[in-house]
Structure 1
């Protein structure tokens, strides 16, 4: 039963993380890391897929190895965060929502700015299945 719950939660996290790429208030990274955690405890097959064949794999492996972001990823992430929040702020006409979005943007950018950047050492190859 626990395996089914973790698999379901893992796939739900993948869906939400993927949606978070285009929706400004839905974060991608925490959901993808949650999916990696769930799959590591429930399905070696899906965990292997997530680490080595999904678009998120390189970043997850880098985070697991260094607890940091690869060069270039931080600046791209901050740029995309600012762009998506700017679009949201431009589309919203309620003052308190705009203020809330600005506060959230500020907190998120500060959080992202504090994450260390570590260069990749060598290009790893997937372990055998």
Structure 2
């Protein structure tokens, strides 16, 4: 089972990296799944993900309380808006961009309802 989880972690990591460059492919979800699988199969990959310049802060925020940074929310919203515009411009059957845009709107609604990480300067 360890090899299956390690393969799944690497697959998700690869898809997450492609998602950084390809609009419409969700980076965050794949990186979260990669971290989950790596935690159960490869401590080395898991540690690397948490030390990574791009993925580490996202994973630490999520594990600290399901936090999503405002920057990540804006980035997702802009990327999804561009993806929807391209779909509406290129797609032939009207229902395809309608379905995709509806799914993206649902994800954005969920995403913007996630708490943001507490600021480092806030005192309790």
Q: Same fold (TM over 0.5)?
A: yes
Indicate the SS of the match to 1:69: coil
TM-score by length of 1: 0.82
Indicate the SS of the match to 2:70: coil
| CA pair 119-71 structure 1, distance change in 2 beyond 3 A | farther
Check conservation: 1:13, 1:34, Cα contact below 8 A: yes
Does 2:33 match 1:34?
Answer: yes
| CA pair 54-3 structure 1, distance change in 2 beyond 3 A | farther
Q: CA separation in 2, counterparts of 1:83 and 1:119?
A: 29
> What is residue 79 of structure 2 aligned with on the other side?
80
Moved more, 68-77 or 5-14: 68-77
Q: CA separation in 1, counterparts of 2:97 and 2:80?
A: 15
Check conservation: 1:70, 1:119, Cα contact below 8 A: no
Q: CA separation in 1, counterparts of 2:86 and 2:43?
A: 39
Q: CA separation in 1, counterparts of 2:7 and 2:45?
A: 12
Check conservation: 2:6, 2:38, Cα contact below 8 A: yes
Which of the two has greater helix per residue?
A: 2
| CA pair 84-9 structure 1, distance change in 2 beyond 3 A | same
Which structure 2 residue ranges, 5 or more long, are not aligned?
A: none
| CA pair 36-44 structure 1, distance change in 2 beyond 3 A | same
Count of equivalent residues: 120
Over aligned residue pairs, what C-alpha RMSD do you find? 1.8
> What is residue 126 of structure 1 aligned with on the other side?
none
TM-score by length of 2: 0.85
Does 2:64 match 1:65?
Answer: yes
> What is residue 13 of structure 1 aligned with on the other side?
12
Check conservation: 1:18, 1:28, Cα contact below 8 A: yes
